[in-house]
Structure 1
């Protein structure tokens, strides 16, 4: 059986407030540029994944929306002050795809083959059950996948891996390092750099002092 094509929903906050724990991580690089690069490299990999038919970026940041559309994604306006989970639900409601996956926008080392393998794994197991992929520490969530006729029902936030499992979602436990490596801190960015960053984030690192990456 051929793999179904997925719709990927990727919320992106306004750049001025996104990734606040990374502020100052790259000396001399404006924080908004780093936040935009993380999102752009994430979208680049998702759009290159053969299992993905459509990418919906939920944002009210004009720079993000412009970059997303230029890359080939569709954009929808975020719901004012509604939060991340509302953005995931809003994006999922805008697609007619039967298979829907929600991804975080801070995966600058993501490789399309890791994402494709995770989406393939999400098809297996009990029918009508959501599946999720935890981040590298195991506490957060980087991917939540819903099969046909099942709501995405996102529980992103602090402790989301436990929250998703408690809500009935089943964890996917294979090793997809580039998918699991989200970036919240300078240490996370260093770990992502060791995996291999996408071009926009890598270019920013090249303009900054790279000593912190190997420290």
Structure 2
């Protein structure tokens, strides 16, 4: 079993993503969605247990930015998130012969490389025995990370994905990694993410939009 993972990051085109970011302009919503994705990918690239990062997106501008960071970009050939991830896992195996694959949500603007490494380290022995593993989001309803070998890769992202992954037999990781659990769908999530430390691009997007830390911290 390899110590390193190929990480898949599916990203909706920023023009269509983060529809729950209500109360900001369309341009701000697009800028935040792009910043979330770029900060997430940057943390993945910095993680010691990550060998390659493959981003799946139909946005050509974002794909160029992703490539400039050092990740790989692939068009979305399925449209359905779980179908897209299964196809991407097969492509990762074809390209790099990887034996450990992780799918990471693209809306983790606080993600730190060391915490991603800790989650992947916890998942590795499970995958070594042909198991699958996942990390629940901060709300305890969804999933931010799913890990499996190529033959066992069968993600269940979507509404109630924590329960869906558990029902499918995946092991829920009990590791203290708050930045890897804090996905951001709306301004309340963004407010909750602030104490963890936003990534550089998200910080810039928040500032440019006039969404000051003080405003976001107000109840």
* Alignment TM-score, normalising by the size of structure 2: 0.91
Query: Which ranges of structure 2 fall in alignment gaps of 5 or more residues?
Result: none
Match in the other structure for 1:98: 99
Aligned-pair distance for 1:32? 1.1
Partner Cα distance (1:29, 1:196) in 2: 23
Aligned-pair distance for 1:155? 0.5
Cα shift readout 1:23-73 (whole Å, capped 9, x = no counterpart): 434x69522111100000000100000100000001111122011101011
Partner Cα distance (2:15, 2:43) in 1: 24
* 2:130/2:152 contact within 8 Å kept: no
Match in the other structure for 2:35: 37
Match in the other structure for 1:174: 175
- Select 2:215's aligned residue among 209, 212, 215: 212
Match in the other structure for 1:69: 67
Match in the other structure for 1:202: 203
CA-based RMSD of the aligned residues comes to 1.7
Q: How does 1:49-60 map to 2 (within 5 A)?
A: 49-60=47-58
- Select 2:147's aligned residue among 135, 145, 149: 145
- Select 1:88's aligned residue among 64, 70, 85: 85
Moved over 3 A (4+): none
* SS of residue matched to 1:155: coil
Match in the other structure for 1:19: 18
Partner Cα distance (1:23, 1:13) in 2: 17
* SS of residue matched to 2:216: helix
Partner Cα distance (2:22, 2:84) in 1: 23
Pick which of 200-209 and 151-160 moved more.
200-209
* 2:131/2:152 contact within 8 Å kept: no
Aligned-pair distance for 1:173? 1.4
Cα shift readout 1:91-117 (whole Å, capped 9, x = no counterpart): 111112110000100000000000000
* 1:15/1:35 contact within 8 Å kept: yes
* 2:2/2:99 contact within 8 Å kept: no
Higher share of residues assigned helix: 2
Query: Which ranges of structure 1 fall in alignment gaps of 5 or more residues?
Result: none
Give the length in aligned residue pairs.
211
* 1:139/1:159 contact within 8 Å kept: yes
Partner Cα distance (1:62, 1:190) in 2: 30
Partner Cα distance (1:192, 1:70) in 2: 26
